[in-house]
Amino acid sequence: MFLGDESGLDILREVKSNLPSVKVIVYSMFAKPGIVSLALEGGADAFVLKSAPESELFTAIKTVLGGETYVQQTLVSPLFTYRTIFDGLTRQEQVVLKKLIERKSRSQIA
């Protein structure tokens, strides 16, 4: 799928807002805690890295089908550290940081 100007996070939010019952597993090559956090805030039901063993993806699928949220274990600790730092920012700083993580252009950030 060609995303054009939209990021995968934009597509995620759109899917979840239009079809909230659809289960979404983010399967990404990006391991940054900010990306994981934004994906979960956007409605992702699971987050797994493409570099993870195949069994990790299967575990995520089973967990999501069971009605629970899943985050690859190696991403959990950095996610908590990120949340602590992120929560220390002002509201405007949080907005700018989110847009930077989403790879928005300078004009979109402004």
pTM above 0.85, yes or no: no
DSSP run (H or E) holding 26: strand 25-28
Phi and psi (nearest 5°) for 69? Answer: -95, 150
pLDDT in tens, the chain (110 residues): 445 567 788 889 999 999 999 999 999 988 888 888 889 989 999 999 999 999 999 999 999 999 999 999 888 887 777 666 677 678 888 888 888 877 788 888 88
Phi-psi region for residue 101, left (φ > 0), alpha (ψ -120 to 50) or beta?
Answer: alpha
pLDDT given at position 65 = 97
Residues in CB range of 78: below 8 A, 6 or more apart: 31, 33, 36
pLDDT of residue 3: 56
Predicted local confidence at residue 83, as pLDDT: 67
CB-based burial label for 72 (10 Å; 0-12, 13-18, 19+): buried
